[in-house]
Chains A and B, each alone.
Chain A
Amino acid sequence: MSLPAYLPVLFLVILSTLFAAGSMFVASKLSPAKWTAAKVEPYECGIEPQEGGVPGGERFPVKFYLLAMLFIIFDIETVFLYPWAVAYDELKVFGLIEMLVFVAILVAAYVYVWRKGALEWAE
């Protein structure tokens, strides 16, 4: 066993603990604690919080989330397509097949999402 090799690890643990505890201690001593009503309100990106937590006090439809995810996937596809198109001369058949595989996977995901009804807005 070579325990001395663990010494730096021990020092790191001690240092990080001291740093965390120290900064919290110093902050608690130095910072003025003045609580106002505005400070304890939930943060809503600068909008005044309303009844129910969100503007209008209603639940968010989770569909926004699904659409956002779908958008990101196809956005990434476009990001990949640009450099691929620029380098297409060099990549030749290899690049074509690679891109076909990539697009095929995305199409499979698209068919899945479409058939499962995730694109229907109204219930």
Chain B
Amino acid sequence: MPLDIPAVRLTGIAPEIALCATALLLLVIDAVLGERRNRWYLPALASIGLGLSIYFATEAWGTTRLELSGMVAVDGFASFVKITLAVFGLLTVWLGRDFLVRERAEEGEFYGLVLFAVAGMMLMAGAADLIVVFLALETFSLALYVLVGFRRRSLLSQESSMKYFLLGSFSTAFFLLGIAFVYGAVGSTNLYGGEDGPGIVSSFMATGASDVGLLILAMGLLIVGLGFKVAAVPFHMWTPDAYQGAPSPVTGFMAAGSKIAGFAALLRLLDVTLYPLREDWRPLVIGVAVLTMVVGSVLAVVQEDVKRLLAYSSIAHAGFVFTGLIAANDRGVSGSLFYLATYGITVLGAFAVVAVLSGRDDEKVTLRDYRGLFYDRPLLAGALTLFLLSLAGVPVTSGFVAKLVVFGAAIQEGYWWLAVVGMVTSAIAAFFYLKVLVVMYMQEKETEDAERVRSGPLSTGVIGLAALATIVLGLYWGPLIDVAERATLFFAGG
């Protein structure tokens, strides 16, 4: 029997391959060289790998094609998300290096796991088949479960890792069941369909079935699985606990990375593949979006722990991105991309400040510890102020422009009331960001620190870069929005 060897062109997943190869090399080098005083070569190698993946993702910009038997899409959308993810990865690696050296817990596994997680998230952005989405989801989730528990001696870290793992596996089961139901309903799991086989919607149309019940059930299950990863209400329970217990650099990476990866899959699934059925999925997603915005903003108000506060804020932000997704037009998709990119950089900056201030064992993270911060460490307080204002959506920061584009897209599609809900919840959210500012500027410090934790050069660099990006994108947003719009154009072509 002659074998049919498929045409394998690996250019479609070159960024992911570069990352995985670097991660393997890094782990082997670390294992062979063993314990050393200064392992500068580990973050350096990780940075090279991430740089390579940016190069490969840029190479693919401007083309639109399906690779690997229709399993992976190579388009502007995927390139945009991949480059953004690699930037998040770079910031995380640099921040993590300073943090781990301070905590005396530097291990090669940290960098390896971050690289594997970024690779999984990238695959999610390019996945053109539900099975590949599942594979990518598991790849980055497994890496994150371990990263959350990376402070092995901390009970809190272990507990949050365990919770995240158990709930994560549970949500994955939902996602898998959703894939099975999609296959049962239409006989295909491919998001586009092409010469290698029919896609979900083309098979659905071909059967001429008027009953969309099973497909809608499947869609709901898929939304549960992906909604868990982007921390949408009512699948958000894990978020505060996992964010609180994880090492601060990892928390920033989770907030930035898993959000953009989850939304990349949601955007491709709902706004492209299931676009013809948009009247069917919209009520469901609108409900999730409204709940997410309201619950995230309201529950954040009572938080006393800065990391939990930022966790609820990240839930609310997922709701804001949903408005762009619900609009399902070009502006909505490009706006969501812009939102996720700028939010990710801002939140990484915020968690970088938290990581520096948290001190030994990552413990000083309550609002009480932030009292009078401005008079003690004006630059860090200033940077945190900037990030919080951007998260609140104050003009002259990137957060304002991001909210403007997603709400604008929703209004354009006639969902003005959804935009109103977004604005009201933003106003509620502004309250707790201001609460942190009041604590930092207007309250007296209670006790003197026994030891003052210094911000290392890498952390300072990450905070500086994030602050710069937050301001520059707030004043001069045109180019990035342009790029996001061009990414969307390639993407709609399928």
Contacts and interface: CB of A to CB of B under 8 A. Distances in A.
Residue from the set A1, A3, A87 with the largest chain B CB neighbour count within 10 Å: A1
Residue from the set B213, B214, B217 with the largest chain A CB neighbour count within 10 Å: B213
B206 interface: no
Contacts of B8: 94
A40 interface: no
Nearest to B283: A1
B31 A2 contact: no
B213 A5 contact: yes
Contacts of A112: 27-28, 31
Contacts of A116: 31
Nearest to B31: A115
Contacts of A6: 213, 216, 283
Given A3-B283, A8-B214, A108-B27, A90 B3 contact: yes
A7 B216 CA distance: 10
B217 A1 contact: no
B5 A2 contact: no
A82 to B, nearest CB: 15
Interface in B31-45: 31-32, 34
Contact of B279 (A2, A9, A111, A115): A2
A105 interface: yes
Residue from the set A2, A5, A12 with the largest chain B CB neighbour count within 10 Å: A5
Interface residues of B, number: 22
A91 interface: yes
A7 to B, nearest CB: 7
Interface string A2-40: 110111110010000000000000000000000000000
Nearest to B211: A8
Nearest to A114: B31
Nearest to A105: B24
B475 interface: no
Contacts of B220: 9
A27 B402 CA distance: 56
Contact of A2 (B32, B34, B280): B280
Interface of B: 2-3, 5, 8, 24-25, 27-28, 31-32, 34, 211-214, 216-217, 220, 279-280, 282-283
Interface of A: 1-3, 5-9, 12, 87, 90-91, 94, 105, 108, 111-112, 114-116
Given A1-B283, A5-B216, A8-B214, 8 more contacts: A2-B280, A6-B216, A9-B216, A12-B217, A90-B3, A111-B28, A112-B28, A112-B31
